[in-house]
A = this chain, B = another copy of it.
Amino acid sequence: MNQRVPVVEKITKANDRIAALNRALLDRHGVFGLNLLASPGAGKTSLIEATLPRLRGRLRVGVVEGDLATSLDAERAAAAGAPAVQITTGGACHLDAAMVNDALPRLPLAELDLLIVENVGNLICPASFALGTHADVLVASTPEGDDKPYKYPSMYGRVGALVINKIDLLPHLDFDMERFRRGVAVLSPDAIAFPLSCRTGEGLDAWIAWLMARTRQTRGAG
């Protein structure tokens, strides 16, 4: 067990180097890259499905899907009209920069404005692996409960934007939005929050506007 810490450090450093390569590649093509994080079933793929048609004719979007097994999610993204690449981690609990580096050449980067990388469903391990994207977006969902920021501080402490999905279920849950937001505010005071429902469409406009603004910012700086 003594070897563990140095091995982890070596892995993290190697990962950071490859993440920098990914960032340079995205910047060269003027693509805004987004790392979509969440626990299983919070609605990452549903958010992509709800987002793609609303960006049609406005932004050109590519998708990288990370999963332990199956290509169900890439099929859903492709059906929603985006070029999509599936990474199957074969059991690994997070995406790393090298996996994304392998996936990027399989997308038409020169023809994209926005790249959404859907990470593996996990509120812990993906927080330790930068991918080279420009923003981390965490998808929380109301049925998970209002205590999650307190219980998963490493993940909630690194988010730039927070989607609070499944607000249509709020009348049926004991979810205290104020308690939830207080937890987020302590860990990520600058995080912007988007309460929404992928199912009903409520709240999606603000999320779409943010995506458009951030993508234009990145392209302007590139």
Contacts and interface: CB of A to CB of B under 8 A. Distances in A.
B41 A150 contact: no
Interface in A144-184: 144-145, 147-148, 150-154, 166, 168-169, 172, 174
A68 interface: yes
Nearest to A147: B72
B154 A169 contact: no
Nearest to A67: B151
Interface in A110-162: 120-125, 141, 143-145, 147-148, 150-154
A162 to B, nearest CB: 15
Contacts of A148: 40-41
Copies of the polypeptide in the assembly: 2
Given A72-B151, A147-B72, A169-B169, A39 B7 contact: no
A11 interface: yes
- Interface core residue of A7, A69, A141, A152 (most chain B CB under 10 Å): A152
A220 to B, nearest CB: 37
A91 B151 CA distance: 10
A166 B151 contact: no
Interface residues of A, number: 41
B39 A72 contact: no
Contacts of A40: 39, 123, 144, 148, 151-152
A11 B2 CA distance: 10
A92 to B, nearest CB: 8
Contact of A70 (B123, B125, B150, B168): B150
Contacts of A125: 93, 122, 124-125
B124 A123 contact: no
A186 interface: no
Q: Closest 5 CB pairs between A and B?
A: A41-B144, A143-B143, A93-B124, A39-B40, A41-B145
Given A40-B144, A70-B150, A70-B151, 16 more contacts: A3-B3, A4-B11, A7-B7, A40-B123, A41-B143, A41-B144, A69-B150, A72-B151, A93-B122, A121-B151, A122-B122, A122-B123, A124-B125, A141-B143, A169-B172, A174-B199
